[in-house]
Each structure stands twice: as C-alpha cells, then as structure tokens.
Structure 1
C-alpha cells in the first residue's frame, strides 16, 4: 500500500536497528532509531518479497512444519512400542513397513487397546505423508513453471525444492553486488574475529535463513556423491578438495559455491555453464 502511494519502502534488518537504540524502547525512540539507521550510507536493506515469493515461501514453511510433525510422530511411535519390547527401525521407510506387521502379529504382546491406539497413530503418520506428497507436487509444478527455478535446476545439487526456496528467499538476487554477498547473507562464509591487522577466520557465520542454508548443504552433499563418477571441472574441484579436507568442510564449501553460481544464474538470467562454474 505504501509503495502504491508513491513512497520508497525499505525493510531494515532488526539486528542493525537495535544497535542504535539509545534508551528504553518506545515509539519515539524507535522512530528516531529507524531514521538514524536509514540515513547511513552503508545500510543494506532487506529485499521486499513479491506476492509470488510469499506464496512459495508459505508452501515451504508449511512443508517444513509437517516434516517436523512427522518426525515427532515417528519418534512417539518408537517410544511407545519400545515399552512393549518392540525395537523399531531407525529409517522412517522401515518404520512404515513395520507398523502393519506389528498390528497383524498376535504374539508380540500388544494389547487390544494399544493396537487400536497404534492404528490411530499409523493413520496420523499416513496423513502427514500424504500432505507432504501433495506439497512436493505443488513445489515441482512451481519449479517447472518459474523460469528462474528452471535455470537453477541445471546446476548439480539443486533440486526443485532448493530452486524454489532460493527464488522465494532471494528473488532475482539483484539486491546483492556479487555472489559472495549472497553466500554471506545465507551464512555460508567464514565468521571473522580479526584485530590489530591479524586476520582470524572462524567457522561459517550461520546468518540468514537457516532453512535455505540447510537445503544448500544437503544439495552440496548430493553433488559430492555424484562427483566421483564425473570428470568435469566442478567434479575435479570437489574430488581434489575431498582429498585434503573433511567431508563436512567440503560440503559447506560446495554449498558456498552453489550459492555463488546460483547468484549468477538468478541475477544475470543466464543458463548454467559448467565450463565457468569454478570462476563464478
């Protein structure tokens, strides 16, 4: 509404505004702090999301919540059946196969009351699985229809889930000057603790959207797994790095590279070119 009225709207990260609060929190001090922060030349505002981005992000948030509920439901089932001496498998797919066998086995010591309860929990788990499948189908359709998401999927390790998450969170990426800035916003660059001219780099900063950062790391692990059977420049870079560093370090470094390459694809509107991936 403010933009429709002709106003220039900028969203300021709250952690930056908090630094300039001089006294107690009230409306007058908040307004003064916001004005002071807006006047600073090095202030980097947050990109304003479009309606399409908000819709995609809502789907991702709902899917992530359903996934957490499904994990909690599976753990609840494991804990309850353990009281009856039944050892449940660790994998969720194996648990889905084990529950019907428990219900059919009359000699496992389960009472009729608990069997009815377990059947209800089984139906809850199936309902969560069905909702996850429906949302995955919606995400796949969006990833196919959105041109930026289609280009991002050309990059190894970027699935429809990761591509749509990048589009919903980062938009077209033009709010960042270069790929490193976007990787830093996601929290994939080293955290600095330098002083007296001595540079000291720590682990990654873990700033920004933890959900997107987690997806990129998982996508990087997938790219690492596929690199052993390929001989392109990116695969050779991954293989050489795996020979010198721990697998977790390689995964984060690959996630950083994925974010930088994704910025080029999103901001420039170009297709992925594997010959130039190491220099992106």
Structure 2
C-alpha cells in the first residue's frame, strides 16, 4: 500500500493527473491515470487527504474516494489559480491543487450527496426549458408580427396569439411554422409541469425546504433549490458570508484605510441570485399591504432609495434570513411580515 501525506488530483473526462506528496520537502509522485485505473490507484493507497477542484464530476469522485476511506476536499477553481507557477497543463494544475489544499486558511466546498445533485439536475433542466419556452414564444411573436398579428406580451398570451393567427389569412408556409412552434410550446409546458411536480415532491420530503418556504417571497422552487445547493450552512461563518457567496454584497475597492464600496459583486450562483432578486421585487410591490418589522423596513428604505437598490438590499436580507433558518432550524417569525 502506498502512503501519502496529501494528493492533488486534476479531473478530466478520461485522464486524471495525480500529484502526491509522501512528506513535506520530499519529491512528488506524478501519475497520469486513465478512468479505469483511477479506482485501482486509490484502492492501493492508504487513507490520505485528497484535493480536487470543484468542477464537473468532482462531487461524484469525492463520494467515491470518501467511500474508500480517504478524506476529500473540494476547492473553488479560482482559489487554486494563484498557486499555478507557470504555464498551463494538467500536471501543473494538480501540483497547484496539492499546494492550495495545504493552506490553513483555505476555504473548501461542501460535498453534495447524490440526492442533492439529482435535485439540482431537476432545477437546471427546468431553467433550460423556461429559456427554450421564452425563445419559442419570441420566435412565434416575431414571425406573426411580420404579418400584422400582434397581441400583448407574456407567455399567457400565446393562446390569444394562436387564435389571432387562425382567424387571419396567412401563407401556408407560415401556418406550418406556427403549428410547429405551437406544438413545441405545448411539449415544453407539459415538461415544465412534470418537473414542477417532481420538485414539489422533493420539497415535501425535506424539513429544511419546508422551513424556508415560510419566508416571505420564498416558495417551493427557491426553497428546494437552496436546500440542494447548500448541503452545509455551517460552511459559512455568518449570514453575511452566505450573502457574499451569492454575490449580493457590495464590491470593495479599499486602500489606505479608506473604504470604497461599489455595486454588488454578482459572484456565485447566478440563477439563485436571480430568483432571490425576483422574490424581493415581488415583496417590494406588496409591502404596503403588510405590517411588521420587515414590511416597515421595506417601506422606510423605499422612501429614501431607488426601487432597484431596495430590491437588491431586500434580496440580501432574504439571503441572510435563509442562512439563519438553515443554521438554527427555527421557523420564520410571521409577526415580522403579516397582511394588514
């Protein structure tokens, strides 16, 4: 059995580069492994600390290697880049990973379970279908507008648009195009509904997701996605760290003791941040119909700041509330936001 102090692994589709150190200051063992030899190599290695970048298939390999008794850590790719000495190849990347994982202040990505990754696959598939739905509706609207068939905007107006197209004498080729797009939209809508049912089922089985559903503006969709995306809220030191991870905190450009803040960083999960901003937008529109600490905070801030700035600030507050609920297991205090 081989024994190593730590091992850096650069992942790929078919070939994996290994950079292993038996001890500090000792020459490294460098290996290029095929997929079939990956398990064999680590099965013949004593339990070691293994580092990988949090990229495609990383969570899968983390679970597989952890099952063999190894301690696996995942590192954000941006955190390993400073340790790349020169050039860019798999061996250099593996060495950089091995060096980065040894830093005492390094931050690691929590490993997701197979169930959490499957739940995220549902959300990503739904997001893709929604984009395809928007593209198809825009194409249908654009083609018919060339022939004077125009209705109000919105996915809910598609039926009205198709009815207008039926009542209008259009060329046969255009009618064939409209028919194909209508069938495509029908199939996409059914697929989205099927995914929504699966997501609702997962939501009902998760206690954490049900707790998050009680937060104003956070429904089953957002609650389920956040629960699957954040396997360990303890990975964040505070609620602000969680909001910063989502890119909802101001970007700093400070120097010489002078603090300079700009717009939000827009780091992290773009889709999750978008959903939180949409939730905040909805709350902002209905804040006057509610009472409580949160409603009063929204109304007071709206009197001083532009609506868009208040929306982002509210999304930040929602993110912090979500982290606190996930961390403590408490329910949202309904007295903070109740209907008048």
TM-score range relative to shorter protein: over 0.9
Higher strand content, 1 or 2: 2
Q: Which runs of 5+ in 2 are unaligned?
A: 1-63
Cα pair 1:234 1:274 within 8 Å, conserved: no
Larger radius of gyration: 2
- Aligned equivalent of 1:15, options 64, 71, 78: 78
In structure 2, the residue matched to 1:89 is 152
Cα pair 2:246 2:273 within 8 Å, conserved: yes
1:275 Cα deviation after fit: 5.8
**Counterparts of 1:116 and 1:26, CA distance in 2:** 51
1:169 Cα deviation after fit: 1.0
Cα pair 1:156 1:223 within 8 Å, conserved: yes
The structure with higher relative contact order (CA 8 Å, sep 6+) is 1
**Counterparts of 2:335 and 2:111, CA distance in 1:** 33
TM-score normalised according to structure 2 size: 0.77
2:120 is the alignment partner of 1:57:
yes
2:104 is the alignment partner of 1:44:
no
2:288 is the alignment partner of 1:228:
yes
- Aligned equivalent of 2:93, options 7, 10, 30: 30
Cα pair 2:292 2:336 within 8 Å, conserved: no
**Counterparts of 1:68 and 1:92, CA distance in 2:** 12
**Counterparts of 1:225 and 1:2, CA distance in 2:** 49
2:325 is the alignment partner of 1:262:
no
Cα pair 1:179 1:261 within 8 Å, conserved: yes
Cα pair 1:173 1:267 within 8 Å, conserved: yes
In structure 2, the residue matched to 1:202 is 262
Superposition pairs for residues 138-177 of structure 1, below 5 Å?
Answer: 138-177=198-237
1:117 Cα deviation after fit: 2.4
**Counterparts of 1:241 and 1:261, CA distance in 2:** 18
In structure 1, the residue matched to 2:38 is none
1:171-199 C-alpha deviation (Å, 9 max, x unpaired): 24121111111110010011100011110
**Counterparts of 1:275 and 1:92, CA distance in 2:** 36
- The secondary structure found in structure 1 opposite 2:133 is helix
Two-structure CA RMSD over aligned residues (Å)? 1.5
**Counterparts of 1:226 and 1:19, CA distance in 2:** 46
Runs of 4+ in 1 over 4 A off after TM superposition: 274-277
Higher helix content, 1 or 2: 1
Cα pair 1:89 1:95 within 8 Å, conserved: no
In structure 2, the residue matched to 1:70 is 133
- The secondary structure found in structure 2 opposite 1:182 is helix
TM-score normalised according to structure 1 size: 0.93
Q: Which runs of 5+ in 1 are unaligned?
A: none
- The secondary structure found in structure 1 opposite 2:233 is coil
